[in-house]
Amino acid sequence: MYTVLVVDDNQSIVDIFVNMLEQGGYRVLSATSGEGALEILTNYRPDVVLLDILMEPMDGWQTLEQIKAGPPQMASIPVMMLTAKPLSPGEAEKFGLSIEDYINKPITRRSLYEAIDRFFQRRDRMETHMQIAGESGATPEILKEYRTLCRATDVQRRLLRILEHVAISENLEPGKFEEITSVVRDMKMTLAEKNGRLEEIRDQFLELGITPEVV
C-alpha cells in the first residue's frame, strides 16, 4: 500500500483529499501547513507528497525548496504540486526539475487516481528497467543519468503542455504571452538536448543487447 502525504492549509480540502485517497486504497498522512509537512517528513517517508501552492505563511514553493534542501532521505521524496492557479513561466523554469507533476484543482477522484498511479507506474517501470540494464553491464553512472533524463523529460513535456495551454488564454496580462512563449521556446530547446542524450544512451543499451522497448 502506497503512502501519500497531503498538504493544504485548508482543513476542509485536506479532508476531501484524505477521503478520496483512502477510498482509493492509499495510506494517507496530512498536514495543514508547510511547517507541519516538514515536521512529518523528518519522521516519516511517504511515497509521494501532494503539496498545495497557495498556503500561508509558507507557500507550497517555499515548502518544496525546504524539502529539497533537507537531508537525502527527505530531499529524495517525490512531490506533486496542487493548485488552482495557472503555472507561471518563472515557476516552470525554477521548479520544473524538482517536481513530479503539476495538478490543477478542482480535480476529480478519477483524475487524482490517474495522476498518482501514473507516477507509481513510471517509477516501478523504471526500477525494473534499471535492474535489467545493470545486470546487462550498464555502469552506475549511465543508469543514474538515464533515470534523471527520463524523469526530467517526462515532467518537462507535461509542463510545456500546461504553459502552451496558458498561452492561448484570453485573459493574459500585457506582455505575458511573450514571456510564456520565450520560456516555452527555451524549454523545448532543453528538451531536445535531453532527448538527444537519451538516444545516445539507448544506443549504448542496444550494444549491451537491451532493446529500446525494454529500457
> Which CATH number is 70's domain given?
3.40.50.2300
Helix (H) or strand (E) holding 163: helix 140-167
The amino acid occupying position 7 is V
CB 60 within 8 A of CB 52: yes
Q: How far is CA 209 from CA 53, 72, 116, in A?
A: 45, 34, 32
Q: Specify the pLDDT at position 17.
A: 96
Q: Is residue 38 part of a domain?
A: yes
Map residue 80 onto helix, strand or coil. Answer: strand
Q: Is residue 185 part of a domain?
A: yes
pTM of the predicted protein model: 0.86
Interval 175-213: pLDDT, tens:
788 888 898 999 999 999 999 999 999 999 898 888 755
Q: For residue 162, give its domain range.
A: 122-215
- pLDDT, mean of each 10-residue run, the chain (215 residues): 96 96 96 97 96 95 97 95 87 90 89 92 88 90 92 90 79 80 92 95 88 57
Cell of 13: 480540502
Q: Is residue 105 part of a domain?
A: no
- The answer to whether residues 126 and 173 belong to one domain is yes
Map residue 88 onto helix, strand or coil. Answer: coil
- The answer to whether residues 128 and 211 belong to one domain is yes
Q: Is residue 113 part of a domain?
A: no
- The answer to whether residues 157 and 68 belong to one domain is no
- The answer to whether residues 70 and 1 belong to one domain is yes
Map residue 55 onto helix, strand or coil. Answer: coil
- The answer to whether residues 70 and 24 belong to one domain is yes
Q: How far is CA 131 from CA 33, 77, 78, 198, in A?
A: 38, 21, 20, 18
Q: Is residue 131 part of a domain?
A: yes
Number of domains in the chain: 2
Of 58, 85, 112, the domain-final residue: 85
Q: Specify the pLDDT at position 14.
A: 96
- The answer to whether residues 139 and 214 belong to one domain is yes
- CA-CA-CA-CA torsion for 79, 99, 52, 8, nearest 10 degrees? 10
Cα–Cα distance between 27 and 199 in angstroms, integer? 38
Interval 65-78: pLDDT, tens:
999 999 999 999 99
